[in-house]
Chain A
Amino acid sequence: MKNNNLKAWLYLLPAILFLGVFMVYPLIDVFIYSFEEGYNSASQTFFGTGIYNYQYILRDPYFLQAVKNTFILVIITVPVSTGLSLFISVGLASIQKLRKLFQTLYFLPYVTNTLAVGLVFMILFKKTAYTDGMVNLLINLFGGQSVDFIDGPYWAKMLVLCIYTVWIVMPFKILILTSALASVNQNYYDAALVDGTTKWRMFTRITLPMISPTLFYLIITGFIGAFKAYSDAVALFGTDLNAAKMNTIVGYVYDMLYGNSGGFPSYASAAAIILFIIVLTITCINLLISKKHVHY
């Protein structure tokens, strides 16, 4: 038995070593950083401890802008992508022919490089001296005015960011929802058919309750994912997100850490912890709501 003990720890050693150095230690350290005032990464010294870092970033207009952007992004993209993917998945579940093909196509954005495909969205929406771009062409077709979605007004930039985010997160949601819909027991529908129930009633009384745990899982992961948005914004607006007024909380953390505005790991840590608290709070609220509405 003693021998076995030793062997098991030997098998676990690499994992414990890596996780210890790159996850557990950093996790403790980030809290310490966030309370060290005036930390200098070159000399590794600091003046004192306290909550100054938190006070500083909560007054930093760039941080407030990032919080505002992130919240708008979350509030728009989570309901839109969840609703849209439910709509598409229900459609997908109701057909036989071409279903496999559609499923495969819909999943494509999942395996693409966010940064690379973001460039395609940029040129589709961008207005340059040479061309108004594809999307503006469509807008003109319906009688609208051309807008510069990449360097133009705030709402236009936010709109592109939301559209791209939805496009990126849809594959995962459609995949999860189609498999949930496929696993609903056919007997329920057969029974309802015998009773002459309408399709809409079948959807709201059978399908929705049966898939509500999955739907709820998607909403939670959707919230968490959207709060951590960053690379989609970089793909569309470039690395200087503060100048574009399009920064996100995660972007603010990284900008504080590194780059032209970087070198402040303490501010970065404080911002990361605030993000973590926001995500944790929202997840708890979600869990409380789910207790009422989800049928397990």
Chain B
Amino acid sequence: MQEKKLSKILLKIAVYAMLAVWALIVLFPFYWMLLTSIKSYGSYNAEFIPKFYTLSPTIENYISAFSAVPLAKYFLNTVIYTVVTTALMLVIAIPSAYAFARLEFKGKNLLFLSFLALMMIPTELVVITNFTTITNLEMRNTFTGLILPSAASVFYIYLLKENFEQVPNELYLAAKVDGTTDFKYLMKVLVPICRPTVVTVTILKVIECWNSYVWPRLITDNPAYYLVSNGIQEIRENGFGRENIPAMMAAVVVISLPLIVLFLIFRNKIMAGVARGGTKG
């Protein structure tokens, strides 16, 4: 019996050790980027064997990240792009989710099925024509060209529709008796009741927008319209001079921070939302 207890404790220790090792692997790149970003250019390049700490932290890299390259501009562009795209997505998705969940009309099932079928279409297949469309409309290097193709998303319509359907019928009928219009019912009753799902959908879209790279790269070649992903690539290839890695890491920290903060605030919502059907990997 004593032996069994001992092996149980040993197993527990092994499990914790393994989990700690993985946590270390996950966190180390974040630590390294923070650490490198506060090392001065001179001291970073003087370390042939990189040090795991620094005794003379500096913010000079952050200053040069904002002054030597237009990081603030990239940042602002991304904020505009993210806010407008997400708002437009909600404007498109909420009414159509409502129509599928609550209204009766001819061809509803067929239309919903075709929406579901669209979920299986990989973006890579439609990007080519969208690129040509936007180019022909002369909307390259505009926010309109960046935003329009990214605004509609079947998956979020689907998530919202599922949630709208769970709201009991009685509420709708009561509102109807009171003479409330459908639109008013949707905005004043349904959306507030389903707020958790609306928030989840919003956050997932914000993450998607903040990290998007391929479409912005195709559609912008004027740095004045770069988003952070393209900005960081530009910084890497032509920015501070190839060897100024501390300044590069400062830019990486600035770009990563908003989403990490968002995640720490909404972590339960984000993880629940992704578990319900996010995809990546």
Which 9 pairs between the two chains have the least Cβ-Cβ distance? A169-B281, A26-B129, A18-B152, A8-B105, A26-B126, A15-B96, A11-B99, A11-B95, A8-B103
A123 within 8 A of B: yes
Chain A residues with Cβ below 8 Å from B274 are: 110, 172, 175
Given A4-B104, A225-B280, output 18 extra A-B contacts at Cβ < 8 Å: A7-B103, A15-B115, A18-B92, A26-B128, A26-B133, A41-B135, A111-B259, A113-B229, A115-B233, A116-B232, A117-B29, A117-B252, A120-B29, A131-B45, A175-B274, A176-B275, A231-B213, A257-B128
B54 within 8 A of A: no
B200 within 8 A of A: no
A113 touches B211 (CB 8 A): yes
Number of interface residues of B (CB under 8 A): 90
Main secondary structure of the interface of A (DSSP, over half): helix
A121 touches B129 (CB 8 A): no
On whether A29 and B129 interact (CB within 8 A), knowing A134-B32, A234-B213, the answer reads: yes
Count A-B pairs with CB separation below 8 Å: 262
Chain A residues with Cβ below 8 Å from B131 are: 257-258, 265
B9 within 8 A of A: no
B195 within 8 A of A: no
B228 within 8 A of A: yes
Chain B residues with Cβ below 8 Å from A12 are: 95-96, 99-100, 111
Which range holds the interface residue count of chain A?
A: 35 or more
Residues of B57-116 contacting chain A, CB below 8 A? 91-93, 95-96, 98-100, 103-106, 108, 111, 115
A253 within 8 A of B: yes
A22 within 8 A of B: yes
A106 touches B218 (CB 8 A): no
Q: Say which residue of A94, A131, A231 sits within 8 Å of B15 (CB atoms).
A: A94
CA A137 to CA B151, docked complex, whole Å? 46
A194 within 8 A of B: no
CA A41 to CA B131, docked complex, whole Å? 11
A64 within 8 A of B: no
Residues of A22-46 contacting chain B, CB below 8 A? 22-27, 29-30, 33, 41
